[in-house]
Amino acid sequence: MRERLRFESEIGLLLRNSDFMKPERETPELETCRKNWEKFFATLPSDVQNALQEEDWNNAIILAIHHGIRDIATLTKMLFHAKYGKERGYCNIKNPVAEKKYVQFWGQVKSSIRGLMARPSPPLAQKGGVVCQKVERILSDPKPDKPKIDITGHYENQININGKIKTDWTIRINQAGRHIEGIITKVLYPDQRPKGWIFHEDDDEVSRPFTEFYGDLQSDGSYLFFDRRDPSGNWGYFRPKSGTIEWELSGKKGTLTKISDNPTLMNTSSFDKLVWLHEKFPLTLAQIKNLVRGLSTDKVAAQLEKYFSTPAGIKYADKSAMASAAAKVGYYIADVFTNGFYGVNDEDLELAQFYAKTILTNNKWKFKQITRSQLDWIQIMLDVNSRNGYTLKPIEKYLGLRSSNNNADPSAPMHQYKVTLKLTGAAIIIGGYFGKITIEKLNGRKWKETFGVHFFGGGLDVSFRDEMVGRAETYHEWVEPDFPGTIRLGEIGISFGSSAAAGFMQIFGSGYLPPMDVGYTDVDLKLKPKAPKAGGKALPFGKIRSKTFKDFDATKSIAITDYAADYKLKNDTHFCLGSAVLTEDARQALRIVCANELVAFSTPSSSLEIIGHTDRVDTDERNLTLSALRASNTEQAIRDILGSNFKIPDSQIKVVGKGENEAKAAGRTDNKPEPKDRRVDVKLNSRLLISLKAL
């Protein structure tokens, strides 16, 4: 009996390990399928082949992903045929009813693979990272990603409500090679209350539905994407079709309408808040058009005409009539913002105010021979009624304006300056004054610079007994090269014929920043008015003289965007030991970086720096060559991924290998391995984006 059991066991083992466990008769179709499988199997990396032969299914998928096979259909087919190919032939399932168990297994495999693909670089079971098998010190040939389609752009998911089109979600997508990064934001309208995130309906900590996602192009032309906050549980598809994009998410489907082809600033932590809002929580195209239409020049002019035609006076009835007329202007603006179908939610007011102010600043209106922007006229209206004791809450809420007595934003970061003006002599012939002006930055990056200045007398005969020392605060930071340009003295606080207690100056400088307002106290001036010319007195004005500066980097700080940490790529192998060729993990890491930084890579004014480093193992010469090859191969990979989106000129690209230089400067020991010195740093506009690590 024992011999029979041993015999059957050996026969079973032989059958399980044999190559002849095939269908009884191999038809021509099955033969073709088998040959296709064998051809495909031969293209797989050797470690993937070994894992499949050892039936280590999970590790086989992870290894394949590390080698750059990020297509869920290919991975599913690979695992399915590796497990059941001999048993049923290597053809696809044609009869789901007859092959129910295979259909079920196919679905389970696809679901399992999707979970592994959710991580940009899943960990290997044994050591982590790609197993290096050979050393290549070569300059890589180009390997362009060449995706068939690029879906970079700004999209809206629009729905039809009683014949009107309304947007409920905005989607922004950046594509770099086969990889995409994106933002999905819920659109809120007046009186709507947010209900949590798109993927996290029960999340009470976040007031605005919003999420970030990433994914990769699939072999069928679709894009599989995952929620960055919960990649293992939430996924969806984008499917480009006939000029549109269909989406599928959590069992729901829809069609996206493209608004623009512009890439998005995915990493906006160091940018202005309005830029951040515009990128993360944008208004829809319809909402912007509603503001443009509602605040058009003629419509606002009609409202201003009614107010400024109201007789002004000091009596209560006069003030009340003016307040009533101003209130109507406020109600009109409020109606534009609260339009039930295309209005904006209170959470979008800050961005909407920016659009509204921009529109009203561009709109001009003339009243009694005086032309100002419509925003200036509204500010005047607000100031007058404020002094009369009336508030205009709709103006304050929807335009974000305050009366001139309370117009500063206390939360804004203010830059402080000391401005010293010293006029040393009069130019009698041209009726002007020469001297010096010294600007001193008092906070942040402190500096001090002196410029020559030339003032024309204008309509005043000015006698300066002592230097004028004033102070200024600005929201935008002025740097040294910004100051040469026009300068003007104001009349505020100046009394003629006696010493003045206060003075005022405006510095216009290069002109691209708002004027700097400088206030002076205890200036001890003596001013004698000249005979007024026709049309009234002219204000003293002049110029701050230009001077030569070296190339100036106005970057406030060198921000570090650590994509390796954010995407859990620090344990990946980007270069094998002693090798200059990027692994597929490295290429995927660069795809992530390029997609997030697509705006900068697409901007010709950007600069790119790629620096290779090594430790002190091996000779100086060989290490210098290795670091240079790694840096050059990294540049080539970035060009492969971005294709035509790479627009940084060669003159603004620095690719260099520094070999052991950094390790020597740090006092590293000769021939002692030091992993943190073996890397390639990628810097974009002075920001370190990622360090690609070598074994």
Q: What is the spatial distance between Cα 150 and Cα 173, in angstroms, rounded to a whole number?
A: 10
Residue range 424-473, pLDDT digits in tens: 655 444 456 788 999 999 987 788 999 998 876 544 444 544 577 889 98
pLDDT confidence of residue 427: 47
More confident position, 9 or 302: 302
For the chain, give percent helix, strand, coil, nearest 5: 35, 25, 40
pLDDT confidence of residue 197: 42
Query: Is the predicted pLDDT of residue 625 greater than 90, yes or no?
Result: yes
Query: Is the predicted pLDDT of residue 667 greater than 60, yes or no?
Result: yes
When pLDDT is averaged across residues 153-168 and rounded to a whole number, the result is 87
pLDDT confidence of residue 443: 84
Alpha helices in 310-403 (DSSP H): 316-337, 349-362, 374-387, 393-399
Q: What is the spatial distance between Cα 326 and Cα 155, in angstroms, rounded to a whole number?
A: 39
Nearest to 532 by CA among 507, 478, 557, 496: 496
pLDDT confidence of residue 225: 93
When pLDDT is averaged across residues 105-123 and rounded to a whole number, the result is 77
For the chain, the farthest-separated pair of C-alpha atoms sits apart, in whole angstroms, at: 131
Query: Is the predicted pLDDT of residue 612 greater than 60, yes or no?
Result: yes
Residue range 184-241, pLDDT digits in tens: 988 888 867 655 444 444 444 345 677 889 999 998 999 999 988 777 777 899 999 8
Query: Is the predicted pLDDT of residue 422 greater than 80, yes or no?
Result: yes
Q: Say if pTM beats, i.e. exceeds, 0.75.
A: no
When pLDDT is averaged across residues 345-370 and rounded to a whole number, the result is 83
Contacts of 67 (CB under 8 A, 6+ apart): 45, 48, 130, 584
| Side chain identity, residue 252 | K
More confident position, 108 or 223: 223
Query: Is the predicted pLDDT of residue 3 greater than 60, yes or no?
Result: no
When pLDDT is averaged across residues 381-409 and rounded to a whole number, the result is 76
**pLDDT level of residue 181 (50, 70, 90 thresholds):** very high
Nearest to 256 by CA among 335, 180, 167, 382: 167
Residue range 299-348, pLDDT digits in tens: 999 999 998 888 766 678 878 888 999 999 999 999 999 987 889 988 88
Coil, helix or strand at residue 582: strand
Query: Is the predicted pLDDT of residue 498 greater than 50, yes or no?
Result: no
| Most confident region among 295-304, 364-373, 392-401, 460-469 by mean pLDDT | 295-304
**pLDDT level of residue 21 (50, 70, 90 thresholds):** very low
pLDDT confidence of residue 296: 92
Residue range 44-69, pLDDT digits in tens: 988 899 889 888 888 888 888 888 88
Q: What is the mean pLDDT of the chain?
A: 79
pLDDT confidence of residue 510: 67
| Most confident region among 349-363, 365-379, 414-428 by mean pLDDT | 349-363
Tell me if 214 sits within 8 A of 235, measured CB to CB: no
| Most confident region among 23-37, 96-110, 307-321, 324-338 by mean pLDDT | 324-338
Pairing of strands 164-176, 179-186: antiparallel
pLDDT confidence of residue 186: 87
pLDDT confidence of residue 496: 40
More confident position, 250 or 409: 250
Query: Is the predicted pLDDT of residue 530 greater than 50, yes or no?
Result: no
pLDDT confidence of residue 246: 93
How far apart, in Å, do the first and last CA atoms of the chain sit?
A: 57
